[in-house]
Amino acid sequence: MASLDLQDISKRYSNLAAVDTLSLSIADGELVCLLGPSGSGKSTLLRMIGGFEIPSSGKILIDGVDVAPVPPDKRPTAMVFQSHALWTHMNVWENIAFGLKLRKFSRDEVAAKIARVMELVGLTGYEKRHPSQLSGGQQQRVAIARSIVLEPKILLLDEPFASLDQHLREHLREEVRQIQRQLGITTIFVTHGQDEALALADRIVVMSKGKIEQVGTPDEIYARPQTEFVAGFIGVMNLVSATVSGGSLAFAGEALSAPVADGLATLAIRPEDWKVGEGAGLKATVTRTVNLGAYVLADVALPDGTTVKVHLDKARAVREGDPIEIGIGPFALYRDNMVIHRS
């Protein structure tokens, strides 16, 4: 169990910076999700922590020791790959025992450790199977067992469930969370699925173009996105460009108080933050509805032609073409990607 400190880490390929002078501190026992679109540098960052890529510059401190020049076999990290990367010429037992044997544990110790970890991932009895005889979820569990049996200081997971179906993914996500809590192991989880990050993480690191956009708890990231990128990337967000002049913002014929400098800005409002109903202010029309189970996500056309997304209660039973009245609720303003005002 350990803390991790990344100091001004960069990875440059010729002229392109996959990771650009990035710094991040992760506390002992924390589960952190690196979240971002493909090409944001999150996997490269994880591979640098694991030792599979050498940073162009910067330090990687594990419990205060710089491991940047240390090869992966000598690092106290363990990685679970997206492709699970089980060794197909070995059975499950041999896969998990490989690292233990390299560490010169006695035969009894190896057997005891494997029995414990197999129980932890719920695969007791599958020791003699070959990877090809396991389902995708079981294969990924073996990969996790293979990593945690070595009691690494830091566990790294590189989109481990990307190739599994939604249901299994949610199930395994919960299991990983439980195992992580039980062992108290510092864990970094790379994903491009925001629901995975929101459900799993103590803290989320949102990345874009090799840089950190925002670090925060899932609640913070969702409720108070610091940048327009995060606002647009996490959850559903209405982003409408509008002009501020004299401390007031013109939106669909209404003037909103906005104590910021004059100029263009982006108004951001969540679909669930609209006021809906009589007297809300803006007379609009429902143009499309999507049933999302617990609620309806509706496209609503405002009088000035702008279309926005609005959460509606099922009880409202709206249909396409129905008139509706909505009003601005809590919103945020962004300029040059940064938040400049919240209300």
Q: Which residues bind other proteins (CB under 8 A)?
A: 50-52, 71-74, 77-79, 81, 83, 85-89, 98-99, 102-103, 143, 146-147, 150
Closer residue to other proteins in complex, CB, 50/271: 50
Nearer to other proteins, 81 or 295 (CB): 81
Residue 50 C-beta: closest distance to other proteins, Å: 7
Q: Are strands 282-291 and 275-276 parallel, antiparallel or unpaired?
A: unpaired
Min dist CB 42 to other proteins, Å, is 17
Closer of 52 and 161 to other proteins (Cβ)? 52
Residue 154: other Cβ atoms inside 10 A: 24
- Distance in Å, CB of 36 to other proteins, minimum: 21
State the nearest-atom distance from the C-beta of 99 to other proteins, in Å. Answer: 3
Full 3-state SS string of 168-233: HHHHHHHHHHHHHHHHCCEEEEEECCHHHHHHHCCEEEEEECCEEEEEECHHHHHHCCCEHHHHHH
Min dist CB 27 to other proteins, Å, is 23
Residue 155 class from Cβ within 10 Å (0-12 exposed, 13-18 middle, 19+ buried)? buried
Which residues contact residue 69 at a Cβ distance below 8 angstroms, ignoring those fewer than 6 apart? 54
Residue pair 68/54 in contact (Cβ under 8 Å)? The answer is yes
State the Cα–Cα distance between residues 105 and 114, nearest whole angstrom: 12
Q: Which is nearer to other proteins, 79 or 276 (CB)?
A: 79
Considering the complex, state which of residue 150 and residue 206 has its C-beta at the smaller distance from other proteins: 150
Cβ closest to other proteins, residue 13 vs residue 87 = 87
Copy the structure tokens of residue 115.
Answer: 């029995």
Q: How far is CA 143 from the centre of its chain?
A: 21
CB of 94 to other proteins, least distance (A): 10
